[in-house]
Amino acid sequence: MFNKILIANRGEIAVRIIRACKEMGITSVAIFSDADRHALHVKKADESYFVGDDPLKGYLNAHRIVNIAVTARCDAIHPGYGFLSENPELAAICAKRGIKFIGPESSIIHKMGDKIQARKAMIEAGVPVTPGSDGNINSVEEAQSLANQIGYPVMLKATNGGGGRGIRRCDNDKELVSNYDRVISEATKAFGNPELFMEKCVVSPKHIEVQILADSHGNAIHLYERDCSIQRRNQKLIEIAPSPQLSNEQRDYIGSLAVKAAKAVNYENAGTVEFLLDQDDNFYFMEMNTRLQVEHTITESITGIDIVQEQIRIAFGHQLRFKQDDVNFRGFAIEFRINAEDPKQEFLPSFGKITRYYAAGGPGVRTDASIYTGYVIPPYYDSMCAKLTVWALTWQDVVQRGKRALDDLIIYGVKTTIPYYLEILNNENFKEGEFDTSFVTSHPELTDFNDELPPDVIAAAISAAIAAHEGM
């Protein structure tokens, strides 16, 4: 097994990978920017190295990160998610320098990161895709012509897009014309590639994704699906495994599609195949994420399989320890992305000092976080500061456990999405397991919650103020 792994990331996912390394007896190496000198992942790792004053550039400098790994005598690099996790350059540099990249090969990352190439590969493999362009769209006139052929609404998408960026819905010619240049601009700024393509818009679909594992010996399995339909502006908020909205027949079908997709491109390591399920129960391939997902925790909860440890074993060259028949799921799990945002102010980021933090606990509760009391959330990164995962045997029980755990989770000093999630859990549609990607926009009333501080917190703040004044 590897002796030392560098984690090319920060925050809660870096902490998550460090914990997996500790359980496997592997030395962990963290990297940090000036803004992250006091971050939890730096405190948890066995070794840590500075990557520069700039809060972002250090985490995005593939050559510098690999140089650190070589200097620290690391065997491998785990990219986590975000940053360079789906950047083929990092995987390619690792290969040249003799460092194992814990993920697929550079060529596969490039192929599946290019949405046009990915569509072509899926069509050749017999995986259903939505109607759309065969390649890059070169002009707004070409876009208009195709949109009128396949019918509005359509989606303009950046070829190398991801994370909800570089994507716009167009309901008519006028919107297509106005959005065309916007998508090109977003794609160029965010991904360095102005190319875009078009797909038929599946109206109010369910967003279903399948976790897969594949080794270098030709074995590939799925770990069932996750329902990611609760999202805002194409950004996931709540994820569920398995989906309470699928039949067993649908579950088996979409799992087989995901494995077929992985084998078609000779995929290796952990990955996620994402689908849209339309109102007529048709599945369509959307994209493949060639990395660990934020929401991997709920799959671990229902299957008992540690996905990060499996990633490390696969990267080392081991065969999968499980065959498809060995993989079963039990109960339901929900993951809440605890974002430092103010739902009442259009989810405006709320960075600052954590004045009070208590993690949720109890049966079936898992908290993945990068914060602690006194930690200052920097304004340079994603607003997610913690992930709360709950598990229970039935859908009704996991909803109730989610309420209790969200109430247990105490974060003061910044606004968070916790009260908004409590409103969602009290919504009748959600409790019945009936929702799609239009859920958030169709329930604007959910932001109308009471966010007054509890009396004990107010009393503690007053006491602290009095004590401070008397000590002057």
Query: Could you list the active site residues?
Result: 291
Q: What is the DSSP string of 154-166?
A: EEEEEEEEETTEE
Rounded Cα distance between 109 and 87, Å, is 7
Rounded Cα distance between 261 and 264, Å, is 5
Q: Is the Cβ–Cβ distance between 84 and 90 less than 8 Å?
A: yes
Q: Is the Cβ–Cβ distance between 197 and 183 less than 8 Å?
A: no
Helices (H) and strands (E) in the chain, counts: 16, 22
Q: Is 317 left (phi over 0), alpha (psi -120 to 50) or beta?
A: left
Token couple for 325:
């028949």
Find, among 223, 233, 119, the residue nearest to 168 by Cα. Answer: 233
Token couple for 329:
């799921």
Rounded Cα distance between 343 and 191, Å, is 28
Q: What are phi and psi of 232, to 5 degrees?
A: -130, 120
